[in-house]
Structure 1
Amino acid sequence: MPHLLAVGGALPGPPHAQQEVTAAIGPLLTDDRHRLDALHRLHAASGVMSRHLALPLEEYRDLTSFGRANDLFLREGRLLAEEVTRAALAGAGLPPDAVDFLLFTSVTGISAPSIDAGLVSSVGLRPDVRRMPSFGLGCAGGAAGIARVHDYLLGHPDQVGMLVSVELCSLTFQAGDDSTANLVASGLFGDGAAAVVLVGDEHPRARGADLDVLGTRSGLYPGTADQLGWHVRDSGFEIMLAAGLPETISTHLAADVGALLAEHGLTPADVATWVVHAGGPRIFDAVSDALGLPEDALAVSRESLTAVGNLSSASVLHVLADTLRRGDPAAGGYLVVMAFGPGVSAELVLLQRPAG
């Protein structure tokens, strides 16, 4: 089985208080008093207290075109990608030229060549590193990325695989859009990046790894394609965010989690630690209700939402890093990583802390 060595995270700039962000962007979204009142209510109910943003608040008024926003994504995203790549490799105790496979994921900007290609020269990855850039997995991309690197390492057990996620959600800002979906999103998402280093079972660093990756599962729920994702407009990425998304998760999640755990002779009661991407309070409630989790089971995920907001694909990786820093789970304990994205899709990863 593959093994997880390290998780690194990075956030741009200083944190901004939620009230500060609301006050700055509200007039850019609408001049209707009733919609501004709705904006303040939705932001206050988001569970977010602060966020890190790629740009100073006053510069968001200039985000009026897709091209401008994407240029900024590339400029700022490259810096964060380099930072988290170095941090994760340092945490794993591996040099950059040890990486054999690199999966890059983002849903907030696009380019060809993709950002990961620049890591070869800027960080020192080998020119023959196998790269797989991914776009479209959305918030599920962090969990899916671990799963796909896991799949690669099953076939290349002596190699090193790496996942890099960069999400600058604030650069998808849509001025003049006072739809409820956009008002909610403008108070929920933050900017950040993360990276994970894994090795195959025959790699010298496999013994003594933080976590063993036992298995993965993907779920795609038909008939839900309009609940979460992007409408791509001339102005950029316009959010699709349906009120029924938590209900979809409540309906389907227990079966997927149960199927993954059953493959290993486990039930939800056997799982010590749950790592859920910071999708929002209603998503947390849907997960807890579907799985019958105790009240404090998602405490670290909720704390991440409060401190930095939803970082899309990087969110679940930040929650995972926070969880590991706390020493969870204990030796021999099981951990489930889960995230939800467009489709609607769910991505699950089962991990275990080595017993000794």
Structure 2
Amino acid sequence: MQTVLPDHRYEQEEITEAFSQLTAADGELLKRFHSATGVTGRNLALPLEDYPKLDSFERANEMYVEIALDLGERAIAGALERAGLPPEKVDHLVFCSTTGLATPSLDARLAKRAGLRADVKRVPVFGLGCAAGASGLSRLHDYLRGWPEQTALLVCVELCSLTIQRDDTSIANLVASGLFGDGAGAVVATGHGEGREVVATRSKLYPDTEHLMGWEVGGHGFRIVLDAGLPAFVESVLAGDIRTFLADYGLTPDQVGTWICHPGGPKVIDKIVANLALPPEALEVTWRSLREHGNLSSVSVLHVLQETRGRTGEPAVLLALGPGFSAELLLLHW
């Protein structure tokens, strides 16, 4: 496993000031929303002085393709090195991203750049947003149950900062401009071997909740949809679904030794901790990832997983939420 962040690192105050010069939003209001995210700094795809040059969706998407390929290639190389495997051993490639578009999809280009075989089986996935890291791990698990002797690779790349909307002064956009960061992550998985094991997975799609999270796509590019009712909805459903998932495997939340949670934002994290009655330190790595890097969309849960040191012999739960509205749950064993 390997997560990679862009080289351009800024403190939150620097980003807030730069964004305030690009938007018509009230400066003090912007500072308040950015401060409320709990994010202290982020790595961005571009130097701050280059964002005013993103004067069209076409230009932003061009930069997405260029930078996503670089970060994705670095993540793949790092993950394979950690796994002790050469690129030609990869049989199956799942690629997830929701912050840019390309056809041929970027996985086709990454396969060549990373040295994967010409007969690698590819599955590009768009639109799962923050849930894609967890969903991608689940799909690797599904594949390897059928082909346990093979090797599968998950790659997630998100360049959220390139979706910047200058003319959008909505609360959703002001919050998003202070919350989301950029990065890439890759995971190598096999049907047999040592390390973290996926025991079970579950997907949950909630009807009539499309308004809670997503993109409004148009000539402007990707405009954020982030409903203020999201934390309350999470509070109303998620804890019960997690308990049901665990109960199906004879477990309760207090028997879970490690929690790997996507850092969706302070309010959502607080709701998860409160409704599952978790100890304050249970999501320490999630909070740290949010503070230091922001919400990396699909990459975030992979970053939290990489930084988590689980307790041997105890079950772990990995979870992420995304557009749909949806939840992805995995039961792991260290």
Q: Does TM-score exceed 0.5, indicating one fold?
A: yes
Q: Is 2:281 the counterpart of 1:320?
A: no
1:214-253 mapped onto 2 (5 Å cutoff): 214-253=199-238
Q: Residue 196 of structure 2: which of 211, 217, 235 is its match? A: 211
1:274-313 mapped onto 2 (5 Å cutoff): 274-313=259-298
Q: Residue 178 of structure 1: which of 143, 150, 169 is its match? A: 169
SS at 1:23's partner residue? Answer: helix
Superposed CA deviations along residues 308-334 of structure 1, whole A, max 9, x for unmatched, are 0000000000010011xxxx2121011
**Aligned-partner Cα distance in 2 for 1:234–1:315:** 28
SS at 1:104's partner residue? Answer: strand
Normalized against structure 2, the TM-score is what? Answer: 0.98
Which residue in the other structure is 2:109 paired with? 118
Which residue in the other structure is 1:127 paired with? 118
Cα pair 2:257 2:316 within 8 Å, conserved: yes
**Aligned-partner Cα distance in 2 for 1:294–1:222:** 31
Q: Percent identity?
A: 51
Which residue in the other structure is 2:34 paired with? 43
**Aligned-partner Cα distance in 2 for 1:15–1:321:** 20
Cα pair 2:3 2:183 within 8 Å, conserved: yes
1:70-149 mapped onto 2 (5 Å cutoff): 70-149=61-140
Superposed CA deviations along residues 101-149 of structure 1, whole A, max 9, x for unmatched, are 1100000011111111112221110100000000000000000000011
Superposed CA deviations along residues 48-95 of structure 1, whole A, max 9, x for unmatched, are 000000011011112121111111000000000100001111111111
Structure 1 residue 300 displacement after superposition: 0.4
SS at 2:211's partner residue? Answer: coil
**Aligned-partner Cα distance in 1 for 2:241–2:252:** 12
Structure 1 residue 255 displacement after superposition: 2.3
**Aligned-partner Cα distance in 1 for 2:163–2:201:** 30
Structure 1 residue 283 displacement after superposition: 1.0
Superposed CA deviations along residues 282-311 of structure 1, whole A, max 9, x for unmatched, are 010111122111111111000000000000
Look up the equivalent residue of 1:140 and give its one-letter code: A
Which residue in the other structure is 1:3 paired with? none
Cα pair 2:5 2:183 within 8 Å, conserved: yes
SS at 1:216's partner residue? Answer: strand
Look up the equivalent residue of 2:12 and give its one-letter code: Q
Look up the equivalent residue of 1:187 and give its one-letter code: G
Normalized against structure 1, the TM-score is what? Answer: 0.92
Q: Aligned residue pairs: how many? A: 334
Q: Is 2:242 the counterpart of 1:257?
A: yes
SS at 1:67's partner residue? Answer: helix
Q: Is 2:53 the counterpart of 1:62?
A: yes
**Aligned-partner Cα distance in 1 for 2:94–2:219:** 28
1:152-167 mapped onto 2 (5 Å cutoff): 152-167=143-158
Which residue in the other structure is 1:197 paired with? 188
SS at 1:28's partner residue? Answer: coil
Which residue in the other structure is 1:334 paired with? 315
Cα pair 1:103 1:133 within 8 Å, conserved: yes
Cα RMSD, aligned residues only: 0.9
Structure 1 unaligned blocks of 5 or more: 1-6, 201-205
Q: Mean alpha-carbon deviation: is it higher for 283-292 or for 129-138?
A: 283-292
Cα pair 2:202 2:330 within 8 Å, conserved: yes
Cα pair 1:251 1:290 within 8 Å, conserved: no
Q: Mean alpha-carbon deviation: is it higher for 84-93 or for 247-256?
A: 247-256
**Aligned-partner Cα distance in 1 for 2:137–2:248:** 19
Structure 1 residue 160 displacement after superposition: 0.7
**Aligned-partner Cα distance in 2 for 1:235–1:64:** 10
SS at 2:203's partner residue? Answer: strand
Structure 1 residue 248 displacement after superposition: 1.1
Where does structure 1 differ by over 3 angstroms across 4 or more consecutive aligned residues?
A: none
Which residue in the other structure is 1:8 paired with? 2
Look up the equivalent residue of 1:265 and give its one-letter code: G
